[in-house]
Amino acid sequence: MKVTSYAVARPAFYDRNAASAVAVYLAQTGPHAVTTRWTYTVASGKKLNVEVTPCRILRQTVAAPVGLVAVEVQLTSGASLLVMLSNYMTDNVPNVPYQKDSSASYTMYSSETLTSVSVDISTGGVVQYSITMKGTLFDA
């Protein structure tokens, strides 16, 4: 077979030294300022196809008074910061899950960073956080 273009002969991303990339934060905590929960930076010569970033927040015990509880997954590319997923709750009822997931997969390039953060400005109470990411890391 004669190859007329190297772009045609290039293997699919999952056939280019692919490996799973996973980041997980699962914990119960009280009120706190903006806190980084995990960070993932794409290595040189690699790309990352982020497939899913589900997050759930669930109030365990009531707060007095209740405040905003928020989770974000942020992508940093150069000087730009993009919010890829945000989940907010102002509910004070225990055991009501607020579940969100990214609407589409996306590709990250070398040196780009994915970070998850959480914040709870309530007074008292405990919230359970589940912030995760699963992707495929592959040769660029």
DSSP letter for each residue of 24-60: EEEEEE-SEEEEEEEEEEPPTTEEEEEEE--EEEEEE
Q: Quote the pLDDT of residue 97.
A: 95
- Cα dihedral 111, 116, 121, 124, rounded to 10, equals -140
When pLDDT is cut at 50, 70 and 90, the band that residue 6 belongs to is: low
Q: Quote the pLDDT of residue 139.
A: 93
User: What are the chain's domains?
Assistant: 11-139 (2.60.120)
Residues 37, 118: contact at Cβ < 8 Å? Answer: yes
**pLDDT tens readout for residues 25-74:** 999 999 999 999 999 999 999 999 999 999 999 999 999 999 999 999 99
C-alpha 71/C-alpha 135 separation (Å) is: 19
| 3-state SS, one letter per residue, for 82-126 | EEEEEEEECCCCCCCEEEECCCCCEEECCCCEEEEEEEECCCCCE
When pLDDT is cut at 50, 70 and 90, the band that residue 109 belongs to is: very high
Angle at 11 between CA 7 and CA 17, to 5 degrees: 130
Query: Residue 137 above 60 pLDDT?
Result: yes
Model confidence, pTM: 0.87
Q: Quote the pLDDT of residue 2.
A: 55
Percentage of the chain surpassing pLDDT 70?
94
Rounded to the nearest 5°, which phi and psi values hold at 52? -155, 140
